[in-house]
Amino acid sequence: MAEADLSDPRRLRAEIRAGRFDAPTAGVGGDALQANLVILGAADAADFLRYCQANPRPCPLLAVGAPGDPSLPALGEGIDLRHDLPRYHVWKTGELAERRTDIADLWRDDMVSFALGCSFSFEAALSDAGIPVRHQDAGRNVAMYRTNIPTRPAGRFSGPLVVSMRAMPAADAIEAVQICARYPLAHGAPVHLGDPALIGIADLAAPDYGDPPDIRDGDIPVFWACGVTPQAAIVEARPDIAITHAPGHMLVTDIPADRAEAILTGIRPTIT
């Protein structure tokens, strides 16, 4: 039997749904936009929506599902969030309770799903511009840090801004600011650069999440708002249940990543 074409997002989701693919989604799905997933019950969803809208840098909203509806038609045809991610994390009262490859039996008719932008899009744009993305070159996860910058609270959701850090020469940092400013749905321009102590980071070599960074002579550290921020807020809020993607195991959409801003901000009305 021929192998399925994993660069086609719909075929990839079909493989995932059939239980034949449960690996990280980096490098599959072709050039399709990938997204972070958060699923909450109705009691928490309204506050979380307000939290995302108040904190668009760490929590760029790509799409919000209708209550009880596991599809996200704005992001792709036939998406079923109960099956279509390779791996899920299930959180109970703020603690990681279970790792799953399918959440059909946990779905409730009050559940609301949130797809949030991730850093994949802008890292691809940086690479295309010849800017080093050192953790990728080293085959590591990006280094992430809790800062002393508070997010804007909404209901029970609050907590510090979490940032990812990429080190690069200053001229690359200047170009990276300009490139990333064009991707507000992928965390946008950096939030800080230079001295880490100014945002409450004591030691770059000891990240709070991810792997220690590779920093070269002449590099300047550049910090972006990070999609771990909403996960930290969920831990803080302790909802009875929250379901998220497992790190690296993202929702693969039908939207070409390089056209996501135009499509999702309404300049282009539909996925073509």
Alpha helices in 215-265 (DSSP H): 228-237, 260-264
Rounded CA-CA distance 199/147 in Å is 5
Residue 173 within binding range of a copy of itself, rule CB under 8 A:
yes
Q: Does 204 bind a copy of itself (CB under 8 A)?
A: no
* Cα-Cα end-to-end distance for the chain: 30
Q: Which is nearer to a copy of itself, 98 or 128 (CB)?
A: 128
Three-class secondary structure of residue 144 per DSSP: strand
CB of 121 to a copy of itself, least distance (A): 18
Residue 177 CB, nearest approach to a copy of itself (Å): 4
Does residue number 218 form part of the binding site for a copy of itself (CB under 8 A)? yes
Nearer to a copy of itself, 54 or 198 (CB): 198
Long-range contacts of 192-198 (CB under 8 A, 24+ apart): 192/147, 192/163, 192/222, 192/223, 193/220, 193/221, 193/222, 193/223, 194/220, 194/221, 196/145, 196/165, 196/221, 196/223
- Our finding on whether 14 is near a copy of itself (CB under 8 A) is no
Q: How many residues bind a copy of itself (CB under 8 A)?
A: 17
Which residues does residue 165 pair with via DSSP β-bridges, in sequence order? 143, 223
Please report whether residue 177 would count as binding a copy of itself according to CB under 8 A: yes
Site for a copy of itself in 20-49 (CB under 8 A): none
- Does 170 bind a copy of itself (CB under 8 A)? Our answer is yes
Q: Is 171 in the site for a copy of itself (CB under 8 A)?
A: yes
Nearer to a copy of itself, 123 or 219 (CB): 219
Sheet holding 192-193: strands in order across? 143-150, 160-169, 219-225, 192-193
Binding site residues, a copy of itself, CB under 8 A: 170-171, 173-174, 177-178, 181, 189-195, 198, 218, 220
